[in-house]
Chains A and B, each alone.
Chain A
Amino acid sequence: MRDLYQRLALAPDVDAPTLEAAIEACPNRALRQDAEATLVVASHRQRYDETHRVLRDIGSLRARLGLTHAPHWQGEAANDFSQPSSGPASSLDTLTSRVSEAVSLFDRFKRLGGGWLLVALFVLGACVGLVGGLALAAGLGVL
């Protein structure tokens, strides 16, 4: 399957009048015919858009997983939906590091006294608020 939007230089969510104008202006007769059959009829376009989205997502998944040159990815779909490879960043490794970071944060919190630390913080905040309120009241009373 080809990416007709890409070949017509349009965004996939383009509105119908712009789409039809672009199809009219397309110089390639075969492409114009196919685009008219596929994109101008509303039900056809809906079906095409669903498949288009799947292929686009598979294209970016393959780019992320390093599968852009895998044996099952060939033909027009591979030509039109391949995306530039985005490097070896593994989301699984990222997830693992985030989890371990969260764990270490939690450990430090526990080591510092856990619940008592929270209570102490709350009391301190309440004291500061009380003192500030008294000072403000005294100032207003003087005025």
Chain B
Amino acid sequence: MPTGGFSSFERVLIESRSQVDTAVLLLLAWVLVKRRGVSDSQRRRRLAQVTGHFRHGHAPTAMLEIAREQNIDALQLAAEVIRRDCDAQRRQAVMHQAITLATDDGTLSTENHHVLRFLADVLTLAPTTLATLFLELTGVALGRPEDISRQAYWLEHDADYREARAREEREANEREAREAKEREARQAAEAAAQERKRQEQARRDEVQREQAREDQARREKARRERARRDPGPTPAPSDAYKTRRALAVLGLASGASRADIRRAYRRLAQLNHPDRFYTQSDHHVALASQRFQRIKNAYDYLIKASL
């Protein structure tokens, strides 16, 4: 059980001669409060005018106060009363009054877009019914509420903001253009410097090539002279080196015995035989056969050398 006394709207509702009328009065006051550009006295007069035939028997001003506070307990109570006590005809009439109040000056505020839709749901009117009623009463179709959480809305509706944005954008563009120009100039300067450097390099290369050609000629002459003096065969790569490389291929140190060489060859040949890679790609097989060939060559060489 809630503690505390009855709220002001509850008291009004209990004392009211017609609870439905009181509830409707509150919801209409809510619509009226959400209209922009209307003074309080105008609101009071308009509300009294619309609800002249109501039988609630109390001053409507208090309702405007509660509606301005947007006390949701009171609004909930009013909505429940209306849902319980209104017949279909009365529902239509209430919606009618709400639309009239919301669009007296030909415009519908963003808040009232949502409030009217909420009322339509409370009064269980379908969207098509609401749209038809709205069109009949105002002569324009009920559009979607404007989305004021987007930049596009403010650009369209706030001229100052639009101008400020345009100015900012212009400045940004100018700054960007200036920077682009500077960048271009810098790039051109760099390009020129590089061109100069390249030419210099080309000149230097030319000189070097000239020198190399001279050296080559000199060496050629010296070789020819040497050949004339000493016409022996060119020396073959040393056998020791070849042996060491072959042993390295088989993973052995120098001085390995024939038995070591054979064992190492068997092991490596098994590990690297191309048939082992048959299930993998052709590429793997090719690599394995390369390795196998190298191992076999090394083995053959070592066996032949150690005979």
B244 at the interface (CB under 8 A from A): no
- Cα-based distance from A75 to B117 in the complex (angstroms): 13
A38-61 interface bits toward B, Cβ cutoff 8 Å, 1 = contact, 0 = none: 100100100110110111011011
Whether the pair B115, A72 counts as a contact (CB closer than 8 A) is: no
**Tally of A-B residue pairs with Cβ under 8 A?**
108
Q: Determine how close the nearest CB of chain A comes to the CB of B238; give it in whole angstroms.
A: 68
At the interface, yes or no: B6 with Cβ under 8 Å from chain A? yes
> Could you list some 18 contacts between A and B, CB below 8 A?
A1-B148, A2-B147, A4-B149, A37-B151, A37-B154, A38-B149, A38-B154, A51-B110, A54-B114, A57-B72, A61-B118, A65-B83, A72-B117, A77-B114, A91-B77, A92-B77, A95-B77, A97-B1
Partner of A98, one of B6, B34, B83, B126: B6
Determine whether A28 belongs to the interface, using a CB cutoff of 8 Å to chain B.
no
> In the complex, which residues 87-125 of chain A have their Cβ closer than 8 Å to any Cβ of chain B?
90-92, 94-95, 97-99, 101
* A98 engages B2 (CB within 8 Å): yes
Chain A positions within 8 Å of B158 at CB level? 41, 44
**Is B151 a contact partner of A34 (Cβ separation < 8 A)?**
yes
- Once the chains bind, are B84 and A92 in contact (CB under 8 Å)? yes
B139-156 interface (Cβ within 8 A of A): 144-145, 147-151, 154-155
**A37:B120 contact, CB within 8 angstroms:** no
Alpha-carbon distance between A71 and B80 when the two chains are bound, in angstroms: 18
Q: Which A residues fall within an 8 A CB radius of B?
A: 1-4, 33-34, 36-38, 41, 44, 47-48, 50-51, 53-55, 57-58, 60-62, 64-65, 67, 70-73, 75-77, 90-92, 94-95, 97-99, 101
Residues of B at under 8 Å CB distance from A? 1-2, 6, 10, 13-14, 34, 70, 72-73, 75-77, 79-81, 83-84, 110-111, 114-115, 117-118, 120-122, 126-127, 130, 144-145, 147-151, 154-155, 158, 161
Q: Is the interface of B mostly helix, strand, loop or mixed?
A: helix
Residue of A nearest to B155 (CB): A37
Min CB–CB distance A37 → chain B (angstroms): 4
Given contacts A37-B154, A54-B70, A61-B75, contact A98 B145 (CB under 8 A): no
Which 3 pairs show the lowest CB-CB distances between chains A and B? A37-B151, A70-B121, A72-B117
Question: Main secondary structure on chain A at its contact with chain B?
Answer: helix
A51 to B10, CA, bound (A): 27
